[in-house]
Amino acid sequence: MKLFFESWQNLMLHKTRSGLAALGIIFGVASVICMLSISEVARQDVIGRMERMGLKNVIVDSIKPDRLRRRERQGSDESWSARYGITRTDLEVLADNVPAIESIVPMRVMFKDVVANLRVSDITVVGTTAAYSSVMEHAVDSGRFLSNVDEASASAVCVLGYDAAREIFPLVSPINEVVKVGGIHFTVIGVMEKKGSTGTTGALADPDNIAYVPFATSFARYGKMQVRRGQGTSEVTELEVNRAVLRVKNGDLLLPVAQIAENLLEKRHHQEDVSVTVPLELLAEQRQAERIFRWVMASLAAISLLVGGVGIMNIMLANMAERRQEIGLRRALGATQNEITSLFVSESTVLCAVGGLLGMAVGAALAQGIGFLAQWEVVYQPLSFPFAFGVSVLTGLLFGTLPAVKAARLDPVLALRVE
Amino acid sequence: MNEPVIRLQEVRKTYPMQAGDVHALKSIDIEFAEGEFTSIVGTSGSGKSTLLYLLGLLTQPSSGLYWFRGRQTDVMDDLERSRMRGREIGFVFQSFHLVPQLDIQANVMLAARYSGATGNGVPLETKAKELIERVGLSHRFGHRPVELSNGEMQRVAIARALLTSPSVILADEPTGNLDEENGAHIFELLQSLSADEGKTVIMVTHDLQLADKTQRVVRLKNGEVISS
């Protein structure tokens, strides 16, 4: 402890030089903290998205076949109609043939205007069933969710997502209020809790901005076809289900169920218009990407610290040359070679430790700044601070050793000689 | 007869150089008695400083035997030699070798850093103050070396050399950077250490008049003692 205190005093005798020497370590450690924070944000984002998609769910999405995408890209001025994607019969086949499936939640996106208080809102309308709330782990904030009775009777009721409710009814409770969806009056029976993005793209990406109506109602009131009108053209699509979420009874069966579902749907469809995704697989992919990301960042951090360490070594070597006579004096006063080595190693270690502490503060501030600019919530890995501190101390020990040994090996007679 | 404090027998010091070995000391046989004030004189390159640093255990003889207070030093390891140096030997240099960033008390205290000196019941801070007063610098407490004259700096160096109560004082041209008045004052200080406190003082000097005032003069030439 006495040695560290003495080292600190020695460093303080040359404040500017010590400060400059510590800069490399400060920025090296700051980059480690910052990078680990970014990595943690990415990790938590992936886990969050996966959890929102459901840990025991298989996601089946309808995808537009290539020919339709090409037609859209070419901007044809002809009217066309197409049929693709998951059908209600597909879901019945899956339910009948895969006993490991606990429930299936269909989601049908309707391109209908939602009008309330004479104002058209930019809200997505989705037809779904009562199981949606439990399968997607999306609870009701007030009122109730769609029920099997609503489904059986194809009632004109709807449940609003959290943001949708705020947008349409900013001042009053939406429960029992009426909204017009595609010209048909629906009674609001509930409002969902805030959920956040599912991490997917498309109309189902933001569950907070959706008006949920009974799946059966979406067919009973609007039919199977959806028409989008352009200038003198119209696109008629028969897409029964945009997404189906298969809740599996046992998490261990997730991958086999996904495989069976994929095989069954492949047999029933003559075009590539369905994709099967397992959030856990998504997680594995993300984790692989994360691993690579971490290696890259760890390498960058190591290079930063290496540069910082070399800087420390250079400064300590210059320090040694400048303090040649002091080293000679200390030897004359009874210092052993080991004590001179310890003094110099201790100085570089203290320098790096202080640099590490400052670097942690700078890194945390930098991460906050980046989080502010990128508009994400900054998360720190709990071990990143002791890790960064440990690495900086180790850097001081390693890179301080050579100058320290050189200092200790100075011939005291030569060191005391005045040129 | 008392055993000498220092005894050298057939001591040689050779520096291997690219152009050939340099024999700084050639077969030195010499003894220094307790309380004796000796000066070592000789021309530049005669080996005066090499002998002084060898006596101070800062360098090892290439061959020969060296006893310090009856203990053979050439077989000691670095730790033993360093501890003996810290406890038993005080150095005074021509260039003072004070640490410029430390005030005079801290400079004096530096002597206790490695010697393990405790001050025999007196706190080292108090002892350092007493020594500073003794060398006539009580009005300079808190000052740094840069604020002192050369004579004052050398007095601080002497105070530092005395902190651990060493039995031997080695002074390398202690008056070399001082004017006549300050030089005389420093010499008197060294003289009193020998006469009043019984310390063995060995001083390297170019000043033959000053050397003649010491009890004994050792003359070196080309690494050999020509008279002592």
Q: Where are the alpha helices (DSSP H) in B3-162?
A: 48-55, 78-88, 104-109, 112-115, 124-134, 150-162
- Cα angle A21-A25-A31, degrees, rounded to a multiple of 5: 145
Residue where the block lists tokens 């035997």: B65
Per-residue pLDDT, A299: 83
Q: Is the pLDDT of residue B220 over 80?
A: yes
Per-residue pLDDT, A419: 60
- Residues 90-149 of chain B whose Cβ lies under 8 A from any Cβ of chain A: 91, 93-95, 97, 99, 101-102, 110-111, 113-115
Domain ranges of chain A: 2-48+285-416, 64-272
For chain B, the straight-line distance linking the first and the last C-alpha, in angstroms and rounded, comes to 19
Q: Which two tokens stand for residue A225?
A: 């076809």
Q: Is the pLDDT of residue A374 over 80?
A: yes
> Edge to edge, what strands does the sheet with A80-83 contain?
A80-83, A234-238, A225-229
- Residues 79-98 of chain B whose Cβ lies under 8 A from any Cβ of chain A: 79, 82-83, 85-87, 91, 93-95, 97
Q: Is the pLDDT of residue A87 over 60?
A: yes
- Residue ranges making up the domain that contains B144: 6-227
Per-residue pLDDT, A309: 87
CATH of the domain at B150: 3.40.50.300
Per-residue pLDDT, A61: 92
Contacts of B83 in chain A (CB under 8 A): 334, 336
B170-199: per-residue pLDDT in tens? 999 998 888 888 889 899 999 999 999 999
User: Could you tell me if A367 and A29 are in contact, meaning their C-beta atoms sit under 8 angstroms apart?
Assistant: no
| List of residues 6+ apart from A267 with CB closer than 8 A | none
Per-residue pLDDT, A17: 80
Q: Is the pLDDT of residue B1 over 60?
A: no
B82-92: per-residue pLDDT in tens? 999 999 999 99
Q: Where are the alpha helices (DSSP H) in A62-131?
A: 66-74, 88-97
DSSP-based three-state secondary structure for A374: helix
Q: How confident is the model at residue A196 (pLDDT cuts 50, 70, 90)?
A: confident
CB contact under 8 A, A412 and B59: yes
- Identify which of A104, A124, A126 has the alpha carbon closest to the alpha carbon of residue A60: A104
With an 8 Å Cβ cutoff, the interface of chain A facing chain B consists of 6, 13-14, 325-326, 328-339, 411-413, 416, 418
Per-residue pLDDT, A120: 86
CB contact under 8 A, B114 and A326: no
Residue where the block lists tokens 């996106």: A109
B44-78: per-residue pLDDT in tens? 889 998 999 999 999 999 999 999 999 999 889 99
As a whole number, the mean pLDDT across chain B is: 90
Q: Which two tokens stand for residue B85?
A: 């140096």
Residue where the block lists tokens 């949606």: A132
| List of residues 6+ apart from A291 with CB closer than 8 A | none
Element (H or E) spanning A127, and its range? strand A124-128
Q: Is the pLDDT of residue A405 over 60?
A: yes
As a whole number, the mean pLDDT across chain A is: 86
Distance CA A416, CA A408 (A): 13
User: Could you tell me if A20 and A300 are in contact, meaning their C-beta atoms sit under 8 angstroms apart?
Assistant: no
Beta pairing class for A157-160 and A210-214: antiparallel
Contacts of B56 in chain A (CB under 8 A): 332
Any A CB within 8 A of B166 CB: no
Q: Is the pLDDT of residue A286 over 80?
A: no
Distance CA B63, CA A173 (A): 102
Q: How confident is the model at residue A199 (pLDDT cuts 50, 70, 90)?
A: low
Distance CA A386, CA A300 (A): 18
Per-residue pLDDT, A290: 73
Q: At what angle do helices A279-322 and A254-268 cross, to 10 degrees?
A: 130
- Calculate how close chain A gets to B4, using CA atoms only, in Å: 22
Q: Is the pLDDT of residue B228 over 70?
A: yes
A42-64: average pLDDT? 77
Per-residue pLDDT, B119: 67
Residue where the block lists tokens 């240099």: B93
Q: How confident is the model at residue A76 (pLDDT cuts 50, 70, 90)?
A: low
- Calculate how close chain B gets to A340, using CA atoms only, in Å: 10
Any A CB within 8 A of B50 CB: yes
A74-80: average pLDDT? 71
| pLDDT: which is higher, A41 or B120 | A41
**Of the ranges A21-35, A138-152, A280-294, the best mean pLDDT one:** A138-152
Question: Which ipTM value was assigned to this complex?
Answer: 0.91
Q: How many helices (H) and strands (E) does chain B have?
A: 8, 10
- Per-residue HEC secondary structure of B70-87 comes to CEECCCCCHHHHHHHHHH
A298-325: per-residue pLDDT in tens? 787 788 778 888 888 988 898 888 889 9
Predicted TM-score (pTM) of this structure = 0.67
Distance CA B82, CA B100 (A): 24
- pLDDT above 90 coverage of chain A, percent: 42
- Of B57, B84, B87, B97, which to mutate for an interface test with A (greatest number of A Cβ within 10 Å)? B97
Considering the domain boundaries, does residue B1 fall inside one? no
DSSP-based three-state secondary structure for B144: coil
Distance CA A146, CA B15 (A): 98
CB contact under 8 A, A413 and B59: yes
> What pairs with residue B42 in β-bridges?
B220
Q: Is the pLDDT of residue B148 over 70?
A: yes
- Calculate how close chain B gets to A23, using CA atoms only, in Å: 23
Q: How many domains does chain B have?
A: 1
CB contact under 8 A, A413 and B99: no
Look at the alpha carbons of B192, B198, B202, B207 in this order and tell me if their dihedral is positive or negative.
Answer: positive
- pLDDT above 70 coverage of chain A, percent: 94
Considering the domain boundaries, does residue B61 fall inside one? yes
